[in-house]
Amino acid sequence: GAVVSQHPSWVICKSGTSVKIECRSLDFQATTMFWYRQFPKQSLMLMATSNEGSKATYEQGVEKDKFLINHASLTLSTLTVTSAHPEDSSFYICSASVTTGGFHSPLHFGNGTRLTVT
Amino acid sequence: DAKTTQPTSMDCAEGRAANLPCNHSTISGNEYVYWYRQIHSQGPQYIIHGLKNNETNEMASLIITEDRKSSTLILPHATLRDTAVYYCIVRAYTGANSKLTFGKGITLSVRP
């Protein structure tokens, strides 16, 4: 089945630094990927929709200058948390679907990246 | 997308069937019912989806009422590894750009 891989699985960084998270579709091409964030004991919240070759679409309340998304190829999207602060500590998850001959599979999710900002 | 309502939690005994209900009374004709689950500290895992017919795969069965206002996910023989948060999501099937909006889900606890 379709595999979405995230790297790193967890990261600890100091306040004020930037962190890049990678999301790769391992065995399929993804023109669209989605980035979610999940705080402890809460549900997943969509942050942005990443489109290959164009600008990402951000959900209301998500700062596009803080959460930089780049989708430069059909198999890789990156999320960079700039000038991270402790309140950015969260579980970040990406997802993508397989498109084959007009058929779109259900979204498949990566295993997430645990970000801790100290 | 239509909203869904799920109980907060439920439990079942290992080896028994787990029946997880979901209400989606405002579902539209072009909206599908999706089920995902999330095991602690992992990304969500797709389970099954359906439009109006009952569906079955290697993981579970999905029973959708005739009026499509509710559905039930059935795990036929629950194991301890099925302990997770299960999300019932209604989504218009509009292609690769169709995002999923997660609610609070139901926490299933499988007891030995």
Q: Model confidence over A96-111: pLDDT tens digits?
A: 977 666 666 788 999 9
**B1 or B24, higher pLDDT:** B24
Phi, psi of A54 (to 5 degrees): -145, 175
Q: CA A47 to CA B22: how far, in whole Å?
A: 25
Comparing CB atoms, the residue among A4, A91, A99 nearest residue B96 is: A99
Report the gap between the CA of B104 and the closest CA in chain A (Å).
5
Residue A95 pLDDT more than 90? yes
- Give the model confidence (pLDDT) of A72-87 as tens digits: 899 999 999 999 999 9
Whether B40 has its CB under 8 Å from any CB of chain A: the answer is: no
Rounded alpha-carbon distances, angstroms, from residue A99 to A104, B54, B95, B97: 5, 24, 8, 11
Residue A52: predicted pLDDT: 86
Question: Which pLDDT score, from 0 to 100, does residue A86 have?
Answer: 97
Confidence of residue B2 (pLDDT cuts 50, 70, 90): low
pLDDT band at A40 (very low <50, low <70, confident <90, very high): very high
Residues in chain A within 8 Å Cβ distance of B91: none
Chain pair A-B, CB pairs under 8 angstroms:
54
- pLDDT band at B110; cut points 50, 70, 90: very high
The tokens for B102 are 């997660």
Nearest CA-CA partner of A23 in A47, A59, A39: A47
Predicted confidence band of residue B97 (pLDDT cuts 50, 70, 90): low
